């Protein structure tokens, strides 16, 4: 606990409190920033939900005074998703740079979400076809 009674004026007391909590606040902000940068979608996890949560968490950090640059956000997105999706996103980013029309990360997230939906649909159709093939074979 911080003892401020030894200081004579409110200004002296406030300066001590402010100094103590500025250091703690900076440490907490750095920890929050680093935990955002290190975020990863769990193996087999919901990539769409992960990408949505990243955008939401970036906005929450901004509201708390912690800025995540566009480069850091891109880094977190690309490093946090499975490698095949990161390669897919990198193709779009590279092509956009070559064309001189950089894509916003919200556009990349939209494209990734569409690709995840496409992959899920293909897996469901493949599983259904496999199940139907088994059903006919046992008849």
**Domain coverage including residue 81:** 39-137
- Residue 26 is assigned to a structural domain of this protein: no
The per-residue pLDDT of the chain, averaged, comes to 82
- Residue 97 is assigned to a structural domain of this protein: yes
- Residue 104 is assigned to a structural domain of this protein: yes
Cα–Cα nearest to 51, from 97, 87, 84, 82: 82
Q: What is the value of pTM for the model shown?
A: 0.66
pLDDT digits (tens, 9 = 90+) for 20-34: 776 678 888 889 999
| Residue-wise DSSP of 40-89 | -PPTT--HHHHHHHHHHHHHHHHHTT----HHHHHHHHHHHS-HHHHHHH
74: Cα within 13 Å, side-chain hemisphere: 15
- Residue 93 is assigned to a structural domain of this protein: yes
Report how many domains make up the chain.
Answer: 1
By the 8 A CB rule, do 136 and 106 touch? no
- Residue 30 is assigned to a structural domain of this protein: no
- Residue 85 is assigned to a structural domain of this protein: yes
In this prediction, residue 1 carries a pLDDT of 54
pLDDT digits (tens, 9 = 90+) for 63-119: 888 899 999 998 999 999 988 888 888 887 777 777 777 778 888 888 888 888 888
- Residue 24 is assigned to a structural domain of this protein: no
Q: How crowded is residue 49: how many other Cβ atoms within 10 Å of its Cβ?
A: 12
- Residue 53 is assigned to a structural domain of this protein: yes
Average pLDDT (49-69) is 91
């Amino acid at each position: 606990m911080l003892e401020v009674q030894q200081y004579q004026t409110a200004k002296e007391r406030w300066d001590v409190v402010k100094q103590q909590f500025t250091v703690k606040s900076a440490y907490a902000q750095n920890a929050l920033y680093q935990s955002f940068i290190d975020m990863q979608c769990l193996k087999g996890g919901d990539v769409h939900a992960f990408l949505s949560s990243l955008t939401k968490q970036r906005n929450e950090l901004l509201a708390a005074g912690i800025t995540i640059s566009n480069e850091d956000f891109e880094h977190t997105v690309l490093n946090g998703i499975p490698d095949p999706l990161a390669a897919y996103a990198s193709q779009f980013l590279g092509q956009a740079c070559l064309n001189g029309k950089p894509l916003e990360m919200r556009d990349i997230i939209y494209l990734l979400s569409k690709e995840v939906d496409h992959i899920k649909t293909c897996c469901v159709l493949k599983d259904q076809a496999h199940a139907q093939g088994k059903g006919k074979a046992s008849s």
